Amino acid sequence: MKRLEKIVLAAITICVVAVFGSCATPGVKVVPMETKGTATGAVTPEWVNTYIEKGISAVQALPQFKDKYCIVGEETGVNKQFVLAWADNFSAQQRIGAMLRTNIETKYQATVNAQAESSGVGTSGQGQNTAYGDYKQEIDNSINSVVNVSYSGAQLEANWWVLQRRYDPDQKDVYNDEYVAYVLYTIPKAELNRQIASALETSVSKDSQLYDITIQLAKDILLDGIGDIPPVVENESSAGNTTNATLNLNL
């Protein structure tokens, strides 16, 4: 019996991780029942609709955010107070750090391996590039230094919540009601680019083998930025107030 309960609980957890989904069941409908603006007649903000329909890249592309990075947090749960408390305590700083860890590691890996391939150095007998592995410790140290910097400039733009019902059109008497909270922070692109570039420049010493690569990465970020900051989706299992956090880092 306990084994069956564990299987059911695991299935529920998988379901709630999929935002607006129902375990990927075809035909599931999502209907808003109430929103933050219901009492006052306020309509759902453009950034919320854009995020739901098209994702963070589309929010970033809105004219009002052309010179800013957008950081979107999302929490789903059956307890309204819990969901709203999460939104109130959302940390843009932590999300920036988590994003930078993946983003910069990817940039390091691509640059180091590309240089090794072009020079014919760092290739194993099986044709596998080992250059990144050779520098892994130095790269980790550099990334940790960058992530641990306190980045300033993030501003709370807005927040929103909606009570939604998910159901199968063929079984309308079987449904799931849940609250979803959204929070939007922005930070000027030029300001964050400058801070990240500065943190990178000071993360390695001049005698480091990574120095030239790191300085070039800093210059690239200063000029071209870091791309979209992926949304933070944290979902509360309908079985209670335990939060299963998933940070989407598709850069």
Q: What is the 3-state secondary structure (H, E, C) of the chain?
A: CHHHHHHHHHHHHHHHHCCCCCCCCCCCEEEEEEECCCCCCCCCCHHHHHHHHHCHHHHHCCHHHCCEEEEEEEEEECCHHHHHHHHHCCCHHHHHHHHHHHHHHHHHHHHHHHHHHHHCCCECCCCCECHHHHCHHHHHHHHHHHHCCCCCCCEEEEEEEEEEEEEECCEEEEEEEEEEEEEEEEEEHHHHHHHHHHHHHCCCCCCCCCHHHHHHHHHHHHHHCCCCCCCEEEEECCCCCCEEEEECCCC
Mean pLDDT of the chain: 80
Residue 242: is its pLDDT beyond 50? Answer: no
Tens of pLDDT, residues 117-162 = 776 655 544 444 556 677 889 999 999 999 999 999 999 999 999 9
Residue 66's pLDDT is 92
**Model-level pTM?**
0.73
Tens of pLDDT, residues 72-101 = 999 999 999 999 999 999 988 888 888 888
